[in-house]
Amino acid sequence: MPEGDTVWRAAHRLHQALAGHRLVRCDLRVPRLATSDLTGRLVTDVTARGKHLLTRVEGGLTLHSHLRMEGSWQIYAPGDRWRGGPEHQIRAILGTEDRTAVGYRLPVLDLLRTADEPKAVGHLGPDLLGPDWDPDEALRRLLADPARTVGEAMLDQRNLAGIGNVYKSELCFLLRVSPWLPTGLLPAPERLPALAKKLLEVNKSRPSRVTTADPRRDRRLWVYGRAGRPCLRCATPVRVADQGSGGQERLTYWCPRCQPEPAN
């Protein structure tokens, strides 16, 4: 599941492959961009902003993409077999003489002026892996609605950018709070942005996400994906339920013993 660390890693790979090179191929396979062509332009930078990817090219243009649940960017050398999915799932191809970046199943693909990037990402809160990271501002935003549950507040990218469903569940477990606890009742709330920053930083360069310090396949995460299995801390069966409303429901995992329900 693409979260802030996954997107940061994708941006890093794309930057290494494309930045400083001119595009010899550009194929943007969405109707509104069908006539757009970046061939001949120098790629100047690829950066992540929360879960968004910004590929900047000379002439003041930015190709904005978002992976959401299933999207990915794959990088191939000449002669490599493209393995990211069937042809009809390709939404973008950016090629230099040495590398080709192929975007599969991209639900969001826009071309905008670099100066207009705030229209696409300006609503985001402080980026956990970005140069704008500000824990005090992130905390202020998280606590702005004290009745909102911790789980929902963390997933709102307007509060802080980069947390997805995995980190939501894992952070609540590590803080020993229920995901349904109102943010106004969060004990020592400053721990949340600090711990979130730490987890994403240590995982941004790892191929597999680990929150337990145990890299074994079945012990990398405390609760996420472990419904019905013993809690790694107390052996109580981990529970799972939808959290959210209005079409924004997300599966949430928690240990009912380590994370007791908030008192009514």
Is-contact 29 91, C-beta < 8 A? yes
| CB-based contacts of 184, cutoff 8 Å, min separation 6 | 143, 146, 147
Residue 250 annotated among the catalytic residues of the structure: yes
The DSSP result for 61-76, as a single string, is: EEEEEE-TTT-EEEEE
60-97 b/e (C-beta count within 10 Å ≥ 16 → b): ebbbbbbbeeebbbbbbeeeeeeeeeeeebbbbbbbbe
Is-contact 35 15, C-beta < 8 A? no
Report how far residue 37's alpha carbon sits from residue 93's, in angstroms, rounded to the nearest whole number. 11
Residue 3 annotated among the catalytic residues of the structure: yes
Report how far residue 250's alpha carbon sits from residue 30's, in angstroms, rounded to the nearest whole number. 28
> What does DSSP say about strands 250-254 and 90-95: parallel, antiparallel, or unpaired?
unpaired
3 state SS of 3: coil
Catalytic residue among 3, 49, 179, 197: 3
Question: What are the φ/ψ torsions at residue 8 (nearest 5 degrees)?
Answer: -60, -45
Catalytic residue among 41, 105, 191, 250: 250
Question: What are the φ/ψ torsions at residue 76 (nearest 5 degrees)?
Answer: -130, 145
Catalytic residue among 49, 51, 197, 220: 51
Catalytic residue among 2, 126, 179, 193: 2
Handedness of CA 213, 217, 219, 225 (dihedral sign): positive
Question: In which residue are the tokens 């999207």 written?
Answer: 71
**What does the radius of gyration of the chain's CA atoms come to, in whole angstroms?**
20
Active site (catalytic) residues: 2-3, 51, 250
